Amino acid sequence: MGERLIKYHAVAGFTAMSTNWLLLVLLTSIFKLNYRISNLIGIVAGMVLNFGLNHTWTFRGQSSREYFNWLSLGRERLTDGLRLSQIPQRWGIVIVALLAAALGLRVVAMAMVPLAPEEAYYWMYSQHPSLSYFDHPSMVAWLIGSGTQVFGNTEFGVRVGGALLMLAASGVMYVFGRMWFGRGPALLAALLLQALPVYFGSGLIATMDSALVFFWLVCLLGVSVALRQQAWGWYLAGLGLGGSMLSKYTGVFLGLGALLAVLGHPAWRWHLRSAHPYAASLLAFAMFTPVLIWNGHHEWASFRFQFTDRFAGKTFSVASLTSFALLQLAVATPPLLIGLGWLYVRTFRNRRRLLTQRQLLAWCFSVPLLLVMGYKSLRYDIHLNWTMPLYLSALPAVVHLDLAQWRRVRRGFVGFAWVRTTPAIIVGCLGLNVLMLLYLLILQPRVGWISAFGPWRELAAKVEAVECQLKPSRRTNL
């Protein structure tokens, strides 16, 4: 016991602390990282080293009854997850490796890649606190302000809040998907939220979309809990609705989706006679009140800009409609869109499927936003990120159908070719994420393609040099 105690303190007290200190010095002095970010990286490295050395040296040879083997548990969890998701193990190992590489590189890119103009614009929000702003509510400013309070006015500080929310969104997606479709589809849906490039990019770029995705899923989870006869779920849904509307005005479609779901299923209509949904709506309204107050004091400028002014004078355009269709391929990828289309076909071919609880819930929270965006695309340009939320409720349903078809294919029954490509699509998306991050970290500063990421530091240095040259001449003129 005494020997193990000495080994433990040697590892935890000396080795881990030395690693933390060494990384702090190297990253701040050589790589010029902010000391808060450098210290965080050092702490994580020290924790990993502490666990690894204690596992292999301090407690080596200890009985499994006395020492909880976390590595064995991790392997069992991974194997169980792959079995439930019906992904072959060889594909699963590649997926896990690429996911770890993508998430690790994203953390590095959050600190090293310069801010895009939109991120700098939203950072200015956080420097001028307000109840709301001209083109968006205030959630993005709160997120960036919280991150910069901890990590300073750095790229990492601006981006860390959104990245954490996107990671948390996968956890909420898993809980939501498991309630309706089981563990396997839920696990794959949570994984896809970190694999699909557009959603993965939302964890890197500091915009309001990460908060919208997170609170959208919180509302979906709350409605699901409430419809499972637990009244407190309505208040969770109200919190998600309020957070979504504080992130982006698109969040109002959550309220419409919940109403359609309750009206559409006879067994759920009794909720209209309960006080809880209305109290939850008041909670969401109270959360949204700052935006209403700001707009009231500024002649409803934000509402007018978002809903009328920016679309004034637009006429029918084939180009915008085509662009909308192509952007959906980028957001959801072709295989998932094919699966979604096939799910629509199966549902409407059999009306009883339409009235099942889980299918109805998926459609009510996706179809209204899809129809509105599709209508707008007849005359207006729809941005890439505007349709991100509509796929969230349908994603577990599509994955569930995909896994069912996968079982048919593996048993020799007739199946669809797109089902066979599912593991390859996940690997391809993760590989694309890794390649894009490597490009932003290594090649973009030299090549300059994707000019939104700079070279802003070089430009700032030149502006400061010109400013220094102008200061003496100003003094002379005075």
> Cβ–Cβ contacts within 10 Å for residue 64, how many?
8
- Distance between CA 220 and CA 238 in Å, rounded? 10
Is the separation of the CB atoms in 63 and 29 below 8 Å? no
- Distance between CA 202 and CA 215 in Å, rounded? 14
Residue range 89-113: mean pLDDT, rounded: 85
Which of 42-51, 97-106, 437-446 is predicted with the least confidence, judged by mean pLDDT? Answer: 42-51
And the tokens for 371? 């129809």
- Distance between CA 382 and CA 375 in Å, rounded? 10
Per DSSP, 336 falls in state H
- The secondary element (H helix, E strand) that includes residue 267 is none
Which of 165-179, 284-298, 444-458 is predicted with the least confidence, judged by mean pLDDT? Answer: 444-458
Length of the chain: 478
- Distance between CA 320 and CA 144 in Å, rounded? 32
- Distance between CA 68 and CA 59 in Å, rounded? 10
And the tokens for 23? 């990384």
What phi and psi values does residue 158 have, to the nearest 5 degrees? Answer: -70, -35
Angle between helices 155-181 and 357-364 (to 10 degrees): 150
Model confidence at 332: pLDDT above 90? no
In 207-240, which positions are buried (b, 16+ CB within 10 angstroms) versus exposed (e)?
A: bbbbbbbbbbbbbbbbbbbbbeeeeebbbbbbbb
For residues 426 and 32, the model is more confident at 426
The structure's pTM equals 0.81
Which has the closest alpha carbon to 210: 166, 248, 250?
166
And the tokens for 239? 């919190």
Model confidence at 242: pLDDT above 90? yes
* pLDDT reported for residue 271: 94
Per DSSP, 355 falls in state T
CA 91 to chain CA centroid, nearest Å: 24
DSSP per position, 246-263 = HH-GGGHHHHHHHHHHHH
Q: Is the dihedral of CA 136, 139, 142, 143 positive or negative?
A: negative
Residue pointed to by tokens 């669809």: 416
> Model confidence over 148-174: pLDDT tens digits?
998 888 899 999 999 999 999 999 999
Model confidence at 53: pLDDT above 80? no
- Distance between CA 48 and CA 185 in Å, rounded? 31
Which of 155-164, 297-306, 329-338, 448-457 is predicted with the least confidence, judged by mean pLDDT? Answer: 448-457
Which of 158-167, 248-257, 449-458 is predicted with the least confidence, judged by mean pLDDT? Answer: 449-458
Q: What SS3 class is residue 320?
A: helix
Domain assignments of the chain as residue spans, ordered by start = 2-61, 92-447
- Distance between CA 155 and CA 147 in Å, rounded? 10
User: What is the overall mean pLDDT for the chain?
Assistant: 81
CA distances to 38, 39, 48, 140 from 43, in Å:
9, 6, 9, 28
> Model confidence over 345-365: pLDDT tens digits?
777 777 665 568 888 898 899
